[in-house]
Amino acid sequence: MSNFPHFEYKQDILHAEQVPLETIAQKFGTPCYVYSRAAISATYHEFQQAFADDDYLVCYAVKANSNLAILNLLAKLGCGFDIVSGGELQRALKAGGDPQKIVFSGVGKLADEMRMALAANILCFNVESIGELQLLNQIAAAMNMTAPVSLRVNPDVDARTHPYISTGLKENKFGIPIEEAEHIYLSTDIFSNIRFIGLDCHIGSQLTELDPFVQAGERLMSLLHRLQSHNLKINHLDLGGGLGIRYTNEALPSIQDYVTALRKTLGPMKLRLVIEPGRSLIGNAGLLLTRTAYIKHTPERHFAIVDAAMNDLMRPSLYKAYHQILPINKRSGGSCNYQIVGPVCETGDFLGHDRKLNLEAGDLLAVMSAGAYGMSMSSNYNSRPRAAEVMVDGQTVHLIRARETIDQMIAPEAILPS
């Protein structure tokens, strides 16, 4: 399976690296997220090789999947981190991340988060509004520090992706309008505790074409040239993330083609390039393992009711996203057109529509391409404990997040006194 080189059938049984997925289900139960260490490492090395000897920094977008084991693996490989909250900062540091490889993005950074990041001595704040810049300047002054800043500019480029994950258009909440950025960069006398060190943009997620990246890069370079004409020194250009993955048969540029296109936006300039991949690093390195609870036939449709639900994997319900669904054990014989649905009390609780499968109650299924925005977006809706997570490393399986219990889920709550 070209999309999933570390998840393969061996004697008609789907494996994660060298481990049969049915063995993982027996030991850890379902639903369960399963990741391949080899897949994550191989994709990170693709980014490294694409940059070769260039001056670059890969900052993994923690929001895609924030499990400590995954962050620790990436940190050991030399990866930096793109964070969007104080919680993600603490996760990155706890996982061994280098603060000087951390950039802090997001439109709503709070004062306590700014203090935490300044105290940690992170590489850069990607600032998204004048109000945020003013607050950061005040906090840095109170701490007798200087905050390193890139302005995240909105280049008004159509990413041609789902509207919920498009972030580079004028109507989106993200970034500072590009036509206003030059004036802010030149207002250094107003922001005495700010040091502008970079220029940043991010136009969206799950992009399948290079042209939007190139357009955004060209608009940033035009702004950069104007800033340099005012003798403002910029150390790095941050072009965000957004490179898509193959969920099915999408035609996508390779990581090499993507990096080459980004480097071309710089031309001959000796400028550090920062990128923030999330989905493209982890998406196809994980799957959601689920068991069929019931087979239900109606005059209109055939349903496979599984033990995973929209609270475990939100993307199909939220975006109508498509994930391949594969049987763990291939079975010969006739197939049926199934709706793969969960037990949550919502008609929108589905993992896949119209999937041709030969199924019986008790069969295991793998929902593929679930490494990104799966566990990180999961919830306790319908009072369902969150799934377990495991990492496969060759023939070894590591539990990297224990299945949540009901007691753990309700522990923070309290009954009113009599």
Residues of the chain predicted below pLDDT 50: 159, 161-170
List, for residues 215-226, the tens digit of each pLDDT value: 888 888 888 888
Superfamily of domain 7-36+283-410: Lyase, Ornithine Decarboxylase; Chain A, domain 1 (2.40.37.10)
Domain extents in the chain: 7-36+283-410, 105-277
What's the pLDDT score for residue 173?
59
What's the pLDDT score for residue 157?
66
Query: Known binding site for substrate: residues?
Result: 279, 315, 319, 346, 373
Q: Is the dihedral of CA 283, 284, 290, 294 positive or negative?
A: positive
> Per CATH, is 105-277 categorized as 1.10.580.10?
no
Q: What's the CA gap between 414 and 391, in Å, rounded? A: 35
Choose, from 32, 59, 336, 345, the residue flagged as catalytic: 345
List, for residues 263-299, the tens digit of each pLDDT value: 888 777 788 999 999 999 999 999 999 999 999 999 8
Strands 13-16, 7-10: pairing is: antiparallel
What's the pLDDT score for residue 404?
98
Query: Known binding site for pyridoxal 5'-phosphate: residues?
Result: 242, 276-279, 373
Helices then strands (H, E): number in the chain?
A: 12, 21
What's the pLDDT score for residue 167?
45
What's the pLDDT score for residue 180?
85
Is 345 labeled as catalytic in the residue annotation?
Answer: yes
What's the pLDDT score for residue 304?
96
Q: What's the CA gap between 5 and 130, in Å, rounded? A: 46
